[in-house]
Amino acid sequence: MRILVIGSGAREHALIWKIAQSKLTEKIFCAPGNGGISQQAECINIKSEDIFGLLEFARREKIDLTVVGPEVPLSMGIVDEFQKAGLKIFGPNKSAARLEASKVFSKELMAKYNVPTADFKVFDDPAAADKYIEEIGAPCVVKADGLAAGKGVVVAKSIEQAKQAVGAMMRDKVFGNAGNKIIIEECLKGQEASILVITDSKAVMALASAQDHKRVFDNDAGPNTGGMGAYSPAPIVTDQLLKEIMDKVIYRTIDGLAKEGIDYRGVLYAGIMLTKDGPKTLEFNVRFGDPETEAILPRLKSDLVEIMMAVSSGSLLRVGNFSWDKRACVCVVCAAGGYPGNYEKGKEIFGLDKVSAMKDVMVFQAGTSSRVINDLGQKREVEYRTNGGRVLGVTGLGETISEAIDKTYAAVKEISFEGMHYRTDIGKKANRGI
């Protein structure tokens, strides 16, 4: 099969790494890809939001399956356009993608179909939002309605901070039209878990549990990011708890969408807060999480291409239960100096050759570029430079979480670039048992 993966991050690198292992895979393309991906797939200079450019490419190259990584093309309706053209594609259609593209749509669907979530109120007027904040006090959570690259959520610890978030989103338009409407909701307390499932709208199969680390600094300090690391499995997600989340969150959501006339196919990601009152839904994503994917896919033993083809044809049940490596996996994100704020690009990355020789360690590249500096036939020398905020997802497998942590950080210590920073506590929650 000829497969096209859309996107340019570590998530897409992990997907390509896994797709390459399938007996069904003949050739992989990636649009637009990155420096690391270019070593495993043919990178195509088409942006992930250029739906009709991607469609033309898929037709011309006789692509058998397209896999969509990021949320933006899904929210723009890439699946609908590919399906109209009779092409197989993995991901939800535009209507279903509203679960992520509009937090208002998502929260109202949860309220309608009794999916447990935080109490909330929707605002399209900043003055009314400010007044409401004064009434309820802090802490509270302020969320932009639309897509904001994982940064449109502010957990405000004071009334002043909450009002600043409202002003930034609604008056200053820091997220553009994504802040035309906002949600203010109660601040839930507990530990977060990431539950990802694959569904063809009829059958639903859970992937291994994971836990993400959103804040930029150790001990969950600093601003939210797209994710600074993850580990799988999350010991806090017991079989009993997973069943409760599936029953109360996943099935109710997919059934609710069906009642609204929306057919959901692809990955559904639920961010869950494990509160003293039970699991509550923080958000939905309509694609593989990043960096959760980098911690989950190395543990998946089943053929990912076979699974995706079954979803696109509505025959997921035929695949049977997914098979998993019992080992634990930890992913640590190495970020550019200044991320998630302003950062510089073009810094040379050192040490990747050393890490490539380490057993059970993978480096999934995100914000990188590459160029061949010495082509000696089979042994090419490649120079990598930073080209984004999250630069690398360094990932290790171990018999225990502790062993996976040690392997991953041993690899991280071999890598360097100017300004590089990373959290030193990824996975430690699993060992604390909280």
Residue 373 is predicted with a pLDDT of 82
Q: DSSP label at 159?
A: H
Question: Which of 302, 311, 358 minimizes the C-alpha distance to 83?
Answer: 311
Taking the CA of residue 343 as centre, how many other CA atoms within 13 Å lie in the half-sphere pointing to its CB? 22
Look at residue 118 in the predicted model and tell me its pLDDT. Answer: 96
Predicted pLDDT at 159: 96
Can you name the residues that pair with 285 across neighbouring β-strands? Answer: 269
- Which pLDDT does position 434 carry in this prediction? 41
Closest by Cα among 105, 139, 427, 116 to 282:
116
pLDDT number for residue 431: 74
Distance CA 188, CA 185 (A): 9
Among 352, 343, 358, residue whose Cα is nearest residue 370:
352
* C-alpha span between 382 and 365 (Å, rounded): 14
Report the b/e string of 263-300 with b at 16+ CB within 10 A.
ebbbbbbbbbbbeeeebbbbbbbbbbbbbbbbbbbbbb
Q: Which residue has the tokens 């997220």?
A: 175
For residues 367 and 389, the answer to whether their CB atoms sit within 8 Å is yes
Q: Residue 397: beta bridge partners?
A: 329
CA-to-CA separations, 347 to 39, 146, 392, in angstroms, rounded = 19, 32, 13
pLDDT recorded at residue 114: 98
pLDDT value, residue 429 = 85
CA–CA separation, 308 and 265 (whole Å) = 10
Do residues 73 and 87 lie in contact, with contact meaning Cβ atoms separated by under 8 Å?
no
| 10-residue mean pLDDT series, the chain (434 residues) | 98 98 98 96 97 98 98 97 97 97 97 97 96 95 89 91 96 94 96 94 95 93 91 95 97 97 97 95 95 98 97 92 97 97 96 96 97 76 94 98 97 98 94 58
The pLDDT assigned to 374 comes to 78
**Distances, alpha carbon 229 to alpha carbons 163, 188, 317, in Å:** 30, 22, 32
Q: How many residues does the chain have?
A: 434
Query: Burial, 80: exposed, middle or buried (Cβ in 10 Å; 0-12, 13-18, 19+)?
Result: middle
Owner of token pair 């911690």: 295
Secondary structure letter of residue 289 according to DSSP: -
> Is the torsion defined by CA of 131, 135, 140, 143 positive or negative?
negative
What pLDDT, on the 0 to 100 scale, is given for residue 432?
A: 66
Which pLDDT does position 304 carry in this prediction?
A: 98
